Amino acid sequence: MSEPRMTLHEKMLGHGADGEQASVILESLLMAQIALVLARLGVPDLIAAGPRPVAELAAEAGANADALGGLYEHYGKHPEEAMWFGRAMSRVTGTMVAELAASGFRPLASGRIVDLGGGRGTLLAYLLGADPGATGVVFDRAEALAEAPQVLAGAGLGGRAEFIPGDFLREVPPADLYVLSQVLHNWQDDQVRAVLGNCRKSGRPGNSIMVVELMLPDGPEPSLAHIMDLIMLTTLGGRERTRAQHEELMAEAGYRLVRDTPLARVLPWRILEFQHQPG
For 36-45, how does the pLDDT look when each residue is reduced to its tens digit (9 = 90+)? 666 777 877 7
**Phi, psi (degrees; rounded to nearest 5) at 200:** -60, -40
Please name the residues in contact with 35: beta carbons below 8 A apart, sequence gap of 6 or more. none
Length of the chain: 279
pLDDT-based confidence at residue 234 (cuts at 50, 70, 90): low
DSSP letters spanning 74-97:
HHHH-HHHHHHHHHHHHHHHHHHH
- Alpha carbons within 13 A on the beta-carbon side of 34: 13
Identity of the residue numbered 276: H
Determine the pLDDT at residue 218. 81
Question: Is the pLDDT score of 112 beyond 60?
Answer: yes
Compare 106 and 93 and report the one with higher pLDDT.
106
Hey, what CATH topology would domain 71-276 get?
Answer: Rossmann fold (3.40.50)
Tens-place pLDDT, residues 125-139 = 999 999 999 999 999
Tens-place pLDDT, residues 237-265 = 778 899 999 999 999 999 999 999 998 77
| Beta-bridge partners for 116 | 139
Q: Is 119 left (phi over 0), alpha (psi -120 to 50) or beta?
A: left
Rounded to the nearest 5 percent, the helix, strand and coil shares of the chain are 50, 15, 35
Separation between Cα atoms, residue 124 and residue 93, nearest integer Å: 10
**Catalytic annotation on 185?**
yes
Which is catalytic among the residues 15, 74, 78, 185? 185
Pairing of strands 255-263, 269-276: antiparallel
Determine the pLDDT at residue 236. 64
Q: What's the pTM?
A: 0.72
Query: Mean pLDDT of all residues in the chain?
Result: 80
Query: How much is the average pLDDT of 188-199?
Result: 96
Q: Is the separation of the CB atoms in 226 and 214 below 8 Å? A: no
Domain boundaries, the chain: 8-61, 71-276
Compare 110 and 71 and report the one with higher pLDDT.
110
Q: Is the separation of the CB atoms in 136 and 114 below 8 Å? A: yes
DSSP letters spanning 134-173:
-EEEEEE-GGGGTTHHHHHHHTT-GGGEEEEE--TTT---
